[in-house]
A and B are shown apart, each in its own frame.
Chain A
Amino acid sequence: MTAVQPHAAKATPRRGFLIGSAVALLGTVIVEVLLGLMIGSPGRDLVLVAGAAVAGMAVGSVVVYGTLRHSDRWLSHNADAPGFPPRSGRIDGVDPPAVAAPDSEAAAGKPLHKLAAKQFDAISAKALVVTGELGHYKELLGILRDQVTNVSTETEGAALDILTRLNEIDRHIQDMIAFLNHAGTSDKMVDLMDRTEARMVANRRLLDEFRESCDQASVESKERLGEFQSMVADLNRVVGQVRGISRQTNMLSFNAAIEATRAGEAGKGFAVVASEVKQLSRGSDKAAVDIQDGIARLQVAISVSLQSMVHNRLEAERKGFDVISDSIAELTENLDRFISHQRDVMTKIHEASEVIAHPIMALIGSIQFQDITRQELQHVSQGMEFVASHSGQLRVVLEDFGKDHDLDSIQTMIAELMEQYVMSQERNIHNAAIGNGELEETGPLVQLF
């Protein structure tokens, strides 16, 4: 605390005014430095508005304060001096100083004490205005502090909302990854594959059985054809025997006719029989020839028909088997291709999900910036508290400038503000604002003890 006390320095009001102005300028600079420390932090717009207001008010208030302080000291020192002029204006019991009049006023011949009283009245009026305005600083800074707090609160709400949504997205991605991992090796999938493979094998076996059956049928057909041809050969042999018998019968009838002729009249009847036998023999032979021809034609017809039937059937079955076999092969190939494609798709989705999941988790980590911002805004609010406190003290000094006051030093406040910081960045901004270019070294982000 800086004690503000009247002293016995022999300062004239003009010197007092000049000193007051200097103090005012210094105060302004300090306030601006204090505000400059804060504009590196979030909420800079609010702080700039507050800074402009505080700086302007501080200049005016400290000018008046400095002037009154030195006027007060001057009066205290000269009040009892002989020939001190009568007082025409008073503020809180303080007599107006006998200010040295400007040259023009002196030239006009006005009394110096009247000029001083007039100037004092004007200063007093301004002091009252400044005092009143200073009273509103607390309110103004309270508003700004609440706004900063609101920014912090809203940012936190938004950060939590973002985190909630990111968590939701991450959960869905994890579910999908788990599903893909499970689907690739699941019992259901394995069972489906096994059943499909078993069905394919069964179809192939069935096809082979059919083919074998057809081959067997073909062999049987050929065997039957052979049997038929054997039967035909037997029939031809029988027909040959019949024709042999006919030929012998014919020879027998011829001999009988000769013997009948040799027997004369007695053999006439026998000759008729021999003639009939001959006719029967020729008829039998002709019938045997006809049968033989019929059998030959039947053999040809049946052979052609049977061969055609077997051939056509085999051809049709072969084509059918080829179609079925090709279909099954294509089906198997397509199924393999589909399963392979499906596996590729699942692998791709799995990889993409992993790729997406990583930055989402990094985002969740980055949202922690909100806590950093919150702390920085807290320190800005702390700076506003300092300014509010100091403006209140200035107001008290102005309201009651005849007394001693303990006034906090701005430098002390700046130092206290420095103590509030926790981050190197804050301290570096602070140091840069007060002209200290020294940068604090940042330690390692991760350190194990």
Chain B
Amino acid sequence: MGKKILIVDDSPTILMSMRAMLERAGHAVSNAASGEEAVSVLKGGLKPDLVITDFHMGAMNGIDLVREVRKMTALRFIPVLMVTTESQQAKRLEAKAAGATGWLVKPVQPDALLQVIKQVVPGA
């Protein structure tokens, strides 16, 4: 069943690639090019079933975004996946501590991504 998914990444290539993969699987996709834009969209009323965010994105990184999402009452428990080129274990632990749900290393293949979504989003 299609879910509402917000993708956050400063790379147009990643946004387009992920959107194609997710829409093909029947999900409704919104996107934001920065952490700040994502926060704005979420505060504007968007209630996604899942947020997929990059780690390195200028002023507000992915971990900052996770913290912001966890502050929002309505979105406190939605899954947030980090999709990044970052490979340091310390950063993974930091993301986990901030409340991220999972960690995927780019490039992400559609099968792997959709499998993870099924695991973290009920009814997906």
Q: Which residues of A contact B (CB under 8 A)?
A: 156, 159-160, 163-164, 166-167, 170, 174, 361-362, 364-372, 374-375, 422-424, 440, 442-443, 445-449
Task: Find out whether the CB atom of A159 lies under 8 angstroms from the CB atom of B13.
Answer: yes
Q: How distant is the Cα of A274 from the Cα of B101 in the complex, in angstroms?
A: 144
Q: Which residues of B contact A (CB under 8 A)?
A: 9, 11-14, 16-17, 20-21, 24, 55-56, 84-89, 92, 95-96, 100-110, 112-113, 116, 119-120
Task: Find out whether the CB atom of B103 lies under 8 angstroms from the CB atom of A364.
Answer: no
Task: Find out whether the CB atom of B24 lies under 8 angstroms from the CB atom of A174.
Answer: yes
Q: A364-B21, A365-B107, A422-B85 are in contact. Are A448 and B116 (CB under 8 A)?
A: yes
Residues of B within 8 A of A160 (CB): 12-13, 16
Q: How distant is the Cα of A156 from the Cα of B16 in the complex, in angstroms?
A: 11
Task: Find out whether the CB atom of A371 lies under 8 angstroms from the CB atom of B14.
Answer: yes
Task: Find out whether the CB atom of A156 lies under 8 angstroms from the CB atom of B92.
Answer: no
Q: How distant is the Cα of A277 from the Cα of B26 in the complex, in angstroms?
A: 120
Q: A367-B17, A447-B102, A448-B116 are in contact. Are A170 and B12 (CB under 8 A)?
A: no
Residues of A within 8 A of B104 (CB): 445-447
Task: Find out whether the CB atom of B16 lies under 8 angstroms from the CB atom of A163.
Answer: yes
Q: How distant is the Cα of A167 from the Cα of B29 in the complex, in angstroms?
A: 15
What are 27 A-B contacts defined by CB distance under 8 Å? A160-B16, A163-B17, A163-B20, A167-B20, A170-B20, A170-B24, A361-B20, A361-B21, A361-B24, A361-B110, A364-B20, A365-B17, A368-B14, A370-B11, A370-B13, A371-B9, A371-B107, A423-B85, A443-B92, A443-B103, A445-B112, A447-B102, A447-B104, A448-B119, A448-B120, A449-B96, A449-B103
Q: A156-B12, A371-B11 are in contact. Are A362 and B110 (CB under 8 A)?
A: yes
Residues of A within 8 A of B102 (CB): 446-449
> Closest Cβ of chain A: how far from B40's Cβ, in Å?
23
Q: How distant is the Cα of A361 from the Cα of B110 in the complex, in angstroms?
A: 7
Q: Which interface residue of B13, B14, B95 has the most chain A CB atoms within 10 A? A: B13
Closest to B95 in A: A449
Residues of A within 8 A of B21 (CB): 361, 364-365
Main secondary structure of the interface of A (DSSP, over half): helix
Residues of A within 8 A of B89 (CB): 443
Task: Find out whether the CB atom of A375 lies under 8 angstroms from the CB atom of B56.
Answer: yes
Residues of A within 8 A of B16 (CB): 160, 163-164, 167
Q: How distant is the Cα of A167 from the Cα of B119 in the complex, in angstroms?
A: 26
Q: Which interface residue of B107, B108, B112 has the most chain A CB atoms within 10 A? A: B107
Closest to B54 in A: A371
Task: Find out whether the CB atom of A440 lies under 8 angstroms from the CB atom of B87.
Answer: yes
Task: Find out whether the CB atom of B17 lies under 8 angstroms from the CB atom of A449.
Answer: no
Closest to B96 in A: A449
Q: How distant is the Cα of A364 from the Cα of B108 in the complex, in angstroms?
A: 10
Q: A423-B87, A424-B87 are in contact. Are A362 and B106 (CB under 8 A)?
A: no
Closest to A370 in B: B13
Residues of B within 8 A of A167 (CB): 16, 20
> Closest Cβ of chain B: how far from A149's Cβ, in Å?
15
Task: Find out whether the CB atom of B109 lies under 8 angstroms from the CB atom of A365.
Answer: yes
Q: A365-B17, A372-B107 are in contact. Are A448 and B101 (CB under 8 A)?
A: yes
B108 partner, pick from A368, A422, A442, A449, beta carbons under 8 A? A368
Residues of A within 8 A of B84 (CB): 422
Task: Find out whether the CB atom of B116 lies under 8 angstroms from the CB atom of A446.
Answer: yes
User: What 5 pairs across the A-B complex have the smallest Cβ distances?
Assistant: A368-B107, A371-B11, A448-B102, A424-B87, A449-B96
> Closest Cβ of chain B: how far from A170's Cβ, in Å?
7
Given pairs A156-B12, A446-B104, A446-B105, 4 additional interface contacts (CB within 8 A)? A366-B107, A372-B106, A445-B105, A448-B119
> Closest Cβ of chain B: how far from A379's Cβ, in Å?
11
Q: A163-B20, A166-B20, A361-B24 are in contact. Are A449 and B12 (CB under 8 A)?
A: no
